[in-house]
């Protein structure tokens, strides 16, 4: 399509949208306040992201092998975590082979904690993103989820819908050529997520790295296609990072305004730091949300278990309970049959 034709098409679409609905304002009418809740009756979803790209070179306590991932996941669940998120760090162009690594890691956890909420990351290779300026096709990048769910290993999947740069600015204030990569997902990925959630009943952990990503969440909610068992994580990062809003109350309040009136479970997370060192962890707790910890986000910090214990101390100070096990599945309303508690 020529640029002029494309511009005309966008203008026409905008005019149609403007004629059909109000552009400004919160997500829905009939608003509820995100302050209106009872602390003692509103559980916290305490997620531990146990490794991400953190290796033992970065932090000696980071789990790398499937056996180490299983061991630390079990330890975190034993200590009262609601959800464990892990990376195999073995991306493969064969999605079934990529899934098998997670099955090997999650199966021992499932045996010890049959009601655990476990989910993997996408099957992506940052080197491919950086060197070739392209992601793998959706059937590779997101194709491992179905096998994981069919095996009963994962009852939640990562549901990412946008694009964001991942980098620390250089001394000139630019995104550096080295160690830069962009993290992105195509509409075909979203269709795979929705099909797996609808066909197999998995929950969904929906990432929000920029306000545009939250628009995607709101669009799904308005359309009635947001999967059952969904929860949203809003990510923040300090000013030395490209992408993501800074960890300030005004940034979180923008997101809360965008989802006002929607029945969403939500959390906050901090890329490259400790969310508990910002105002946002306590702010989330005071407004009915949650936060996540772990070596994926705070990779130079203390161990996963130490971060978990510190998080529990803060949650106890605020006076909200942490939901775990079968109660967590019911609270999030994850319909996955293999882990759904009997009525």
Residue 18's pLDDT is 41
Q: How far apart are the C-alpha atoms of 160 and 158, rounded to whole Å?
A: 6
pTM of this prediction? 0.90
Burial class (CB in 10 A: 0-12, 13-18, 19+), 337: exposed
Q: How far apart are the C-alpha atoms of 280 and 26, rounded to whole Å?
A: 21
> What residues contact residue 84 under an 8 Å CB cut-off, 6+ apart?
47, 48, 50, 73, 76, 77, 109, 116, 117, 118
Residue 35's pLDDT is 56
Residue 36's pLDDT is 66
Topology adopted by domain 39-332: TIM Barrel (3.20.20)
Q: How far is CA 341 from the centre of its chain?
A: 24
> What is the CB-side half-sphere exposure of residue 140 using CA atoms within 13 A?
11
The answer to whether 27 and 259 are in contact (CB under 8 A) is yes
pLDDT in tens, the chain (343 residues): 454 554 444 444 444 344 434 444 444 443 344 556 788 889 999 999 999 999 999 999 999 999 999 999 999 999 999 999 999 999 999 999 999 999 999 999 999 999 999 999 999 988 887 778 788 999 999 999 999 999 999 999 999 999 999 899 999 999 998 878 788 999 999 999 999 999 999 999 999 999 999 999 999 999 999 999 999 999 999 999 999 999 999 999 999 999 998 999 999 999 999 999 999 999 999 999 999 999 999 999 999 999 999 999 999 999 999 999 999 999 999 999 999 887 6
Residue 341's pLDDT is 85
What's 212-281 look like in SS3?
HHHHHHHHHHHHCCCCCCEEEEEEECCCCECCCCCCCHHHHHHHHHHCCCCCCEEEEEECCCCHHHCCHH
Q: How far apart are the C-alpha atoms of 337 and 205, rounded to whole Å?
A: 18
The domain locations on the chain are 39-332
Which helix (H) or strand (E) segment holds residue 18: the answer is: helix 3-20
> What is the CB-side half-sphere exposure of residue 159 using CA atoms within 13 A?
30
The answer to whether 254 and 234 are in contact (CB under 8 A) is no
Which helix (H) or strand (E) segment holds residue 181: the answer is: strand 181-184
Torsion of CA 22, 24, 25, 29, to 10 degrees: 10
């Amino acid at each position: 399509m020529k640029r002029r034709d494309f511009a005309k098409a966008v203008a026409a679409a905008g005019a149609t949208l403007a004629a059909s609905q109000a552009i400004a304002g919160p997500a829905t009418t009939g608003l509820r306040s995100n302050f209106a809740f009872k602390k003692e009756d509103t559980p916290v979803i305490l997620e531990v992201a146990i490794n991400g790209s953190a290796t033992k070179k970065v932090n000696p306590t980071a789990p790398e092998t499937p056996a180490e991932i299983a061991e630390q996941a079990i330890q975190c669940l034993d200590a009262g975590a609601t959800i464990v998120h892990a990376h195999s760090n073995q991306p493969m162009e064969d999605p079934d082979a990529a899934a098998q690594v997670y099955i090997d890691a999650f199966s021992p956890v499932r045996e010890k904690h049959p009601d655990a909420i476990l989910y993997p990351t996408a099957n992506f290779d940052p080197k491919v993103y950086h060197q070739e300026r392209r992601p793998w096709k959706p059937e590779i990048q997101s194709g491992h989820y179905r096998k994981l769910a069919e095996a009963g290993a994962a009852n939640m999947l990562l549901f990412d819908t946008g694009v964001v740069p991942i980098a620390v600015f250089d001394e000139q204030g630019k995104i550096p050529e080295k160690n830069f990569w962009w993290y992105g997902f195509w509409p075909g990925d979203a269709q795979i997520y929705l099909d797996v959630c609808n066909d197999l009943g998995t929950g969904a952990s929906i990432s929000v790295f920029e306000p545009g990503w939250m628009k995607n969440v709101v669009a799904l909610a308005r359309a009635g296609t947001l999967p059952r068992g969904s929860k949203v994580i809003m990510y923040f990062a300090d000013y030395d990072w490209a992408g993501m809003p800074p960890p300030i109350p005004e940034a979180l309040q923008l997101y809360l305004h965008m989802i006002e009136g929607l029945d969403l479970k939500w959390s906050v997370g901090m890329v490259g730091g400790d969310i508990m060192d910002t105002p946002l962890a306590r702010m989330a707790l005071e407004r009915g949300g949650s936060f996540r910890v772990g070596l994926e986000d705070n990779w130079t910090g203390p161990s996963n278990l130490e971060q978990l214990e510190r998080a529990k101390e803060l949650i106890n100070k605020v006076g909200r309970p942490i939901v775990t096990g079968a109660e967590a599945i019911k609270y999030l309303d994850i319909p996955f049959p293999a882990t759904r508690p009997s009525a």
